[in-house]
Structure 1
Amino acid sequence: MSTTDPRHSIFPEWLRKGLDGLYLASGYLAGLFLVAIFVIMLALSAGRPLGIDVPAGDDFASWAMAASAFLGLAHTFRSGEMIRVGLLVERIHGRPRQLIEIAALVTGTAAAIYFAWFAFDMTRTSYQFNDLAQGVIAMPLWIPQLGFSGGLIILAIAFVDELAHVLFGGLPRYEKPAPETAEEAIERAIQSGA
């Protein structure tokens, strides 16, 4: 990719690959936790008629759900799949559009860093005080909280990455380019479930 391409990364190639790998790994982990929810719920449902109890199955399913939701955020953001209301922004072009994108990214970055910091602090505090789950299995709470805080930290990294990219003149990579043909527009609508 040439450096004149507005979607080109400002970071060295090794860092760009590392960041993209981090977002992809986070997405895969989210998918893994989604599979874990399925397996736990299947074990709970199939175990009841057979008299088999899965200790703290509901707790593990809820922790896996939180991990899946938060670990998937950065990958969803970078893939351009996050819900974005662009009715106004899509009608603006040029420098005003870039300034609006920068303002939105600054706001998003500040919110992501804020939530990531407090999620990290909560996980660290749970670790320091050896907080335990109140369920059947006394699991240290910092372990399931890692998915929550880790997902928010990776999302904050993704926002900082994207903000730096747009500040240096790049086009937002979280926004897919406009479809070039009617068939492409229809295919995107089908894929998004619209």
Structure 2
Amino acid sequence: MTRRTLDLLYLAAGYLAGLFLVGIFVLMMLLSLGREVNLNVPSGDDFTAWSLVAMAFLGLAHTFRKGEMIRVGLLLERLHGRPRRIAELVSLTIAAAFIAYFTWQAGKLAYDSWQFFDMSTGVVSVPLWIPQSGMVLGLAILLIAIAEEWVTVARGGRPTYEPEPPKTTEELIERVAQGGGV
């Protein structure tokens, strides 16, 4: 896959996460305002919870690529050149292994739910593999993003999630004022 195709994948996942966020808002408003006018949203709490999970997991890759994930760089920030690249590769390898395992287990859960016809117990009965698929898809896209970063760093490139150093003092002040990293 090309970089452009992967960037579109991460962006699409980010937009999909945003749609789930809007869905959560709409459901929460319907649930809250519905109480005032005797409007009941069957299994509204379930749909809200499933949307929250889908939103969180589908947004992971986009957040990772934009450098917005919480990252402790106390050691990495002090390294430069080859030692830093090696430390980045070790970090990305550990992240990839963890996310690959998480993706596999989440996939197994969704597959088992599909195979055994697991259904939700709410008023509206939904096959559980459907809401679980958002988690699996989000994790799989994150794994692709981590693998892509690993290849970039292994080839000697700068990780996408690492911001360019500020070019001017004003740019540095602006980043600090916005709460961003340096």
TM-score range, shorter chain: over 0.9
Structure 2 counterpart of 1:180, one-letter code? K
Is 1:59 paired with 2:46?
Answer: yes
Q: TM-score, normalization: structure 2?
A: 0.94
5+ residue gaps in structure 2?
A: none
5+ residue gaps in structure 1?
A: 1-13
Q: 1:120 to 1:190 in 2, by over 3 A?
A: farther
Q: CA RMSD in A?
A: 1.5
- CA positional deviation for 1:165: 1.3
Structure 2 counterpart of 1:40, one-letter code? L
What is the alpha-carbon distance in structure 2 between the residues aligned to residue 56 and residue 189 of structure 1? 44
What is the alpha-carbon distance in structure 2 between the residues aligned to residue 88 and residue 79 of structure 1? 21
Matched residue SS, 1:160: helix
For residues 131-150 of structure 1, what are the structure 2 equivalents within 5 Å?
Answer: 131-150=118-137
Aligned length: 181
Structure 2 counterpart of 1:63, one-letter code? W
- CA positional deviation for 1:88: 2.1
Deviations 1:38-83 (A, max 9, x none): 0000000110010110101100000000000000000000011111
Q: 1:100 to 1:72 in 2, by over 3 A?
A: same
- CA positional deviation for 1:37: 0.4
Bigger relative CO (Cα 8 Å, ≥ 6 apart): 1
What is the alpha-carbon distance in structure 2 between the residues aligned to residue 30 and residue 192 of structure 1? 23
Select the residue among 128, 142, 161 that pairs with 1:155: 142
Deviations 1:1-27 (A, max 9, x none): xxxxxxxxxxxxx62111111000000
- CA positional deviation for 1:190: 4.1
Matched residue SS, 2:2: helix
Counterpart in 1 of 2:29?
A: 42
Counterpart in 1 of 2:19?
A: 32
Deviations 1:75-125 (A, max 9, x none): 000011111111221121111111100100100111111111111111111
Tell me the percent identity. Answer: 55
